[in-house]
Amino acid sequence: MAKTQQWAFPDALQPRAEDVQFDLAGALDAIVMVRAEVPADGYTAASLGTERGGYGTVIRPDGLVLTIGYLVNEATQIWLTSNRGGVVPAYRVGYDHTTGFGLVQPLGKLDASHLPRGHAAGLQVGDAAYALGHGGRAHALKTRIIGKREFAGPWEYLLDEALFTAPAHPQWGGAALLDAQGQLVGVGSLLLQEEVKREVTHVNMFVPIDLLEPILDEMVRTGRSPHTPHPWLGMSTQDPEGRLVVGNLTQGGPAQRAGVQVGDLVLGIGTQRVNALADLYRAIWRLGAPGVKVPLMLGRGGDVLKINVTSAERGDYLKKPNLH
């Protein structure tokens, strides 16, 4: 608990109980710290580390916690810390690759309140919002919606519409985004740099809560996402200056086994040229289910190469949680 108190937002940036339309203290007490340990031989250990920390939001009276999935992906041990200092072990209920959401269930009584869920679809650019982290009002930030648009991540991830806010919360992983009524409308995923009003500034990307409702019940019941998995290459692709460049490869993953190399330019899929990450992913996913061959057109050293990659299901490469 003491570690989270080593920094604080300036008082002017923190929400005040008398200025909001909801129970601020109750909302703050619904935010927990999430700590996870991942084995060193996990597929995500090299990129995300073996010790991970961030936030989660209690979304039901039974203590179910919603967080961003990369915090708990492949975790063998998870602990939740409430604002009152209580620490309980937990287990991962499910992780949805399509949205990035992770669900965690405490294995003991979690001394925390829970937040109602709202609707991100009704938010407008310019609307006031609040980004909450664990640690009370000192870690709560008054912010605004500055964008609602498509987001493509290098890790083969695509949202048709994500939420973007500024000013940014510096500890964004799993942070809760609340609307003016105190309802949960997003889960923190990234800290990004963008140009806002001709100035480069930090912004947060939040995954809209609306994406949770269609999958929540089945994830809780079965531990699996109802989303049909996309073909996965294990290829992290960057897009500097309008070019698509292979930035990293999963060791032993489909793309590496097929001969793709870091630094290759991704020119297209088959004969279809692609210039943006979103276009690349959609072209791959249109080919079929995991296991389909993906005909990559690559640029390497001035040559154009055609490499067929036998795709896989991402989940098959990840360690599964154990519940003792």
Given this model, what pLDDT does residue 199 score? 80
Separation between Cα atoms, residue 210 and residue 273, nearest integer Å: 33
SS3 content of the chain, % helix, strand, coil (to 5): 20, 40, 40
Is 192:203 a contact under the CB 8 Å cutoff?
Answer: yes
User: Which one, of 8, 13, 280, lies nearest residue 165 by Cα?
Assistant: 13
Q: Tokens 């992913």 sit at which residue? A: 281
- What is the four-CA torsion angle of 103, 108, 114, 119, rounded to 10 degrees? 10
Structural domains of the chain in order of their starting residue, each with its CATH number: 22-114+214-222 (2.40.10.10), 120-212 (2.40.10.10), 235-317 (2.30.42.10)
Separation of CA 236 from chain center: 15
For 99-137, b/e burial (b = at least 16 CB within 10 A) is bbbbbbbbbeebbbbbbebbebeebeeebebbbbbbbbb
Q: How far is CA 101 from CA 16, 42, 206, 207, in A?
A: 29, 19, 11, 8
Cis bond before residue 167 (omega within 30° of 0): yes
- What is the four-CA torsion angle of 211, 216, 218, 221, rounded to 10 degrees? 160
Given this model, what pLDDT does residue 195 score? 75
Is 210:119 a contact under the CB 8 Å cutoff?
Answer: yes
Planar angle of CA 29, 30, 33, nearest 5 degrees: 90
Q: What is the pLDDT along the chain (324 residues), one digit of tens a residue?
A: 334 458 999 999 999 999 999 999 999 999 999 999 999 998 889 889 999 999 999 999 999 999 999 999 999 999 999 999 999 999 999 999 999 999 999 999 999 999 999 999 999 999 999 999 999 999 999 999 999 999 999 999 999 999 999 999 999 999 999 999 999 999 999 999 887 677 879 999 999 999 999 999 999 999 889 999 999 999 999 998 889 999 999 989 999 999 999 999 999 999 999 999 999 999 999 999 999 999 999 999 999 999 999 999 998 988 776 554
Given this model, what pLDDT does residue 5 score? 53
Given this model, what pLDDT does residue 234 score? 96
